[in-house]
Structure 1
Amino acid sequence: MGRDDGQTRIADQFSSLGERAAIWKAFALFLPTNQFLNVGYSEWYQPHFVGLSQRRLAERIGSDIAARLGSTDGVSLLDIGCGRGGPTLHLATEHGFVTTGIDLVPCNVSMARRNAAATVDAQFVVGDALQLPFERDSFNVCTAIDSPPYLPNKREFLTEMASVTVEDGLVAVSDFVRPESLSQEARDTVDTFADAWDLAPIATLEQYKRAIAVSGLPLDAAVDISPNSIARFQKWTGLYLSLARRGLLKPVERFLDRRNIDCDAITEQVSTTHPALPLLRHVIIYARA
């Protein structure tokens, strides 16, 4: 998948176009996807597929940044791949950052601007994470919350982040990684999952660390949050497929059909996703500029 083709597929997916849009329409019935598009974060005692799991991931990252900086009020922050603005606005309202969000998809940016109008004064622009339209040393903090899985060149992306972050600033990235050693069958499973969601090939953590080193960002920490994100989502995909195997999805199919959502497309997406989840890790990477 070429870069231009990948950008088109991503734009279609989040503009309710193309074959990938059905599952996002279904997610919107349970999750605040009009604001948040990330995987989410939940402790074992918290519900994951309803409510605030996606907001919790933004809060986890915001709290970690605050602990590292000491003070965040008035600190400038760029959120790369901001989606519909939920994390960007949460970081502004809950932690006092002066935020700017950038996203490739124009309709996402339009929704982010509408969300901002009701909450806080934040700036949102359309742009490419691999060609950021900002001057060097423009921000104290740069975040990318579950947007890097869509980016094919981690080194180029991290170098761009480093260029717009001030010296001794902070970078926080959440992304999927895979183990160093996988059988060919397991690797094919991960690759099929990535293609189904229009993601770039999944990197290993070691590849990520090498890309960070080349970009000039000293690594601070790599935190594995998989038990609170991927593992929680896997329980839902397992339940869905169990119901499908038993022929118990008819009420779900009728419910979705009334809303013009293709249940077969969702089942295919979940069937592709579920076997890959145990092979993935969800990490937050912190680095100093």
Structure 2
Amino acid sequence: MDRDDLRSRIADQFSYRGQRADIWRGFDLVLDTDAFLNLGYSPWYLPHVVGSSQSRLADEVGTRLAAALPTTDGVRLLDVGCGRGGPTDHLADRYGVDAVGVDLVPYNVRRAARRPADASFVVGDATRLPFVAGTFPACTAIDALVYVPDRAAAFGELARVLEPGGVLVCSDLVAAPTLDDAERRTVDAFADAWDMPSLATVDAYERAVDGAGLAVRTVEDLTAHSVGRFRRWTALYLRLASAFGGRPLAACLRRVGLDPAAVTEQIHRAHAALPHLRHVVVVAERPAAR
């Protein structure tokens, strides 16, 4: 897929333009997508749809950030792919960071900027960040870099804007470590349906981080507490979509202004791919100058 075309598709999806944005309009009915666009995190005892799993994922990132830094109070933080600002605000409020969020989609930044918070927000490309080198002691990217076709360039930019000794914590969706040809086609079909480039394996992801001159400290698998739970919901949706020829569900979706065919296609692609997806959180550091 052409990168400019992908950028346009991503902008359309998150600006609520076109049929592929309907899935997000549907999520608006049950999730806090006005602020959060990430996959979320839920402990075993807490169903994923109870409470704000999306803010809990921001906490998972914040906890690791706090463990890697002497203090977070007043520390300048760049949140790359900030979406609608929920995670950035959450990190600023809970961990006391001086946060700025950057996102490719102007619509997201406008919504983020309307939030009553101390964080600031700017439009920018993760592969060409609008900041001078060595500006930030800390950077985060919460389920955002999965949308960036050139991961090497994104990690290169993160390494550039981090000060020596600075810390990066990112969560992201990756492909399972070993896929046969059929499974890779399934994952690629899912990525295309959701306007993502081809998903990297966690090993390839680590290599991209390392290739940017960042030292990977830890890689943790969150799958069991996030995408590992999603298939029960996609299965339920697909059962409803097939019941009585799908007419009752289609009527309900149309009633709230959603395109049943578009929504069902994306959920079908996700359902098929979920067994082959992983959700990870990576902590890396820009080595200190000698």
Residue identity over aligned pairs, in percent, reads 49
User: What's the CA shift for 1:255?
Assistant: 3.2
Pair 1:182 & 2:179 matched: yes
Give the deviation of 1:200 after TM superposition: 1.2
Distance 2:154 2:87 in 1: 19
Deviates more, 1:50-59 or 1:154-163: 50-59
Match of 1:95 in 2: 95
The answer on whether the counterparts of 2:74 and 2:98 sit within 8 Å (CA) in structure 1 is yes
More displaced 10-residue stretch of structure 1: 237-246 or 24-33: 237-246
Preserved contact between residue 173 and residue 285 of structure 1 (Cα < 8 Å): yes
Unaligned 5+ segments in structure 1 are none
Cα deviation, residue 152, structure 1: 1.0
Residues in 1 aligned to 2:176 and 2:238: alpha-carbon distance in whole angstroms? 25
Map of 1:124 onto structure 2: 121
Deviation at 1:88, TM superposition (A): 0.2
CA shift for structure 1 position 248: 8.3
Q: Cα deviation per residue 1:205-254 (whole Å; 9 max; x = unaligned)?
A: 11112112211100110110000110122221111112223338655433
Name the TM-score, length of structure 2 as normaliser.
0.95
Match of 1:191 in 2: 188
- Please give the secondary structure, in 2, of the residue aligned with 1:161: helix
Counterpart amino acid of residue 96 in structure 2: G
1:98-134 CA distance string (max 9 Å, x none): 000000100100000001xx2x221100010000010
Counterpart residue type for residue 61 of structure 1? V
Deviation, 1:174, is 1.3
* Structure 2 residue ranges without an equivalent (≥5): none
Q: Measure the CA separation in 2 of the matches of 1:19 and 1:257.
A: 12
Partner in structure 2 of residue 210 of structure 1: 207
Equivalent runs, 1:183-262 vs 2, <5 Å: 183-247=180-244, 250-262=247-259
Contact 1:149 1:175 in 2 (8 A): yes
| Correspondence list, 1:127-166, <5 A | 127-166=124-163
Work out the CA distance in 2 between the residues paired with 1:29 and 1:132: 33
1:42 is matched with which residue? 42
Summarize the Cα distance change of 1:85–1:207 in structure 2 as closer, same or farther, 3 Å threshold: same
**1:79 is paired with a residue of what secondary structure?**
strand
Provide the secondary structure at the position in 2 that maps to 1:78: strand
Q: Which amino acid in the other structure matches residue 129 of structure 1? A: A
Query: Is the CA contact (8 Å cut-off) linking 1:30 and 1:51 kept in structure 2?
Result: no
In structure 1, the residue matched to 2:277 is 280
Q: For 1:251 and 1:50, how far apart are their aligned partners in 2?
A: 26
Q: Distance in 1 between matches of 2:37 and 2:169?
A: 17
Contact 1:49 / 1:233 at 8 angstroms: preserved in 2?
no
Q: Which amino acid aligns with 1:62?
A: G
SS in 2 for 1:136: coil
CA displacement at 1:195 relative to structure 2: 0.3
Residues in 2 aligned to 1:247 and 1:286: alpha-carbon distance in whole angstroms: 48
- 1:36 CA drift (Å): 0.3
Q: What are the superposed Cα offsets for residues 177-215 of structure 1, whole Å, 9 maximum, x if unpaired? A: 223432111110000000000101111111112112211
Q: Where does residue 56 of structure 2 map in the other structure?
A: 56
Q: Return the alpha-carbon distance in structure 2 between the equivalents of residues 193 and 40 of structure 1.
A: 19
Distance 2:181 2:65 in 1: 38
> 1:8-23, aligned counterparts within 5 Å?
8-23=8-23
Query: Which aligned pairs between 1:15-34 and structure 2 lie closer than 5 A?
Result: 15-34=15-34
Q: TM-score, normalised by structure 1?
A: 0.95
